[in-house]
Amino acid sequence: MTIDPAKPSVMNPLEERILYKFRNGLLLAEALTHPSISLERRNYPFDNQRLEFLGDAVIQVSVTEHLFRMFPDFGEGQLTKLRTRIVSRPALRDRALALDLGSFIMMGRGEESSGGRERASTLADAFESLVGAIYLDGGFDAARIFILRQMDPVFTEIASQPDEINPKGYLQEILQAIEPTAPDYQILSQTGPEHSKVFICCVLWNGLELGQGCGCSKKEAQVAAAQVALAKRLWESKAEPPPRRKKKKK
């Protein structure tokens, strides 16, 4: 049930943060159980993968409906781009970080020792699972209220700048969908007087230089490098298998 913050109720620390009291506490436990725990505890009754699948769908519907009402003059393409910004893995990870969700996840010792609590995929999956649990426990309205409350900062941002695209975030989202290594931005040079410097930056990923850019600040140079990388898409050519050599006829 959704909690009125002005009326205190007996809740565990996470329920206090999300302002939702579970009727069925097992759903919350399932949402917070990483699949790695079953590797160390045989016959463990559940993990959060099914709830993740459900929560993803609930988030998609809730965000789509909200954007549909926010921007009545936007076409399908514009709305799709906005939704992608909101429900991308980095965006969901940020929502999980805001709740410190990682500290509540139950996971195997091996997963934890390898940085599992800070892993973007783990945090994003846990957020989706939590949404799925709220949906089953309290229905769609309860889940939608939770989603819109958690994503209110993002909605506020895009309301003022709906056409803004974050090249660095978009590039990272594309690359980490291939494998978890994040792009690395390196400043190659800086020239000019203190009041009018020019920075040149390159973006690297898995030993491959994806692009270079320049700007009047390090941040501008990084954004420019990301834009060049998005235009060149060099990671695609690297991912292609080498051509097979033709066997010589004897």
Same domain, residue pair 105 and 44: yes
CATH of the domain at 151: 1.10.1520.10
Task: Find the mean pLDDT for residues 141-161.
Answer: 90
pLDDT at res. 96: 93
User: Contact at 8 Å (CB) between 183 and 192?
Assistant: no
Q: Is the pLDDT confidence value at 100 over 80? A: yes
Task: Give the structural domain span for 229.
Answer: 168-239
Among residues 160, 180, 214, the one where a domain terminates is 160
- Among 51-55, 57-61, 82-86, the minimum mean pLDDT is found in 82-86
pTM score of the predicted model: 0.64
Q: How confident is the model at residue 164 (pLDDT cuts 50, 70, 90)?
A: low
Rounded mean pLDDT, 33-59: 88
Which span out of 54-63, 156-165, 208-217, 236-245 was modeled with the highest average pLDDT?
A: 54-63
150 in a structural domain: yes
Q: 133 or 182: whose pLDDT is higher?
A: 133
Say which residue the tokens 């994503």 belong to.
Answer: 151
- pLDDT over threshold 50, residue 8: no
Cβ atoms within 10 Å of 5's Cβ, excluding its own = 8
Q: Which of 2, 30, 33 is nearest to 16 (CA)?
A: 2
Active-site annotation, residues: 56, 128
Amino acid at residue number 202: C
pLDDT at 162: 66
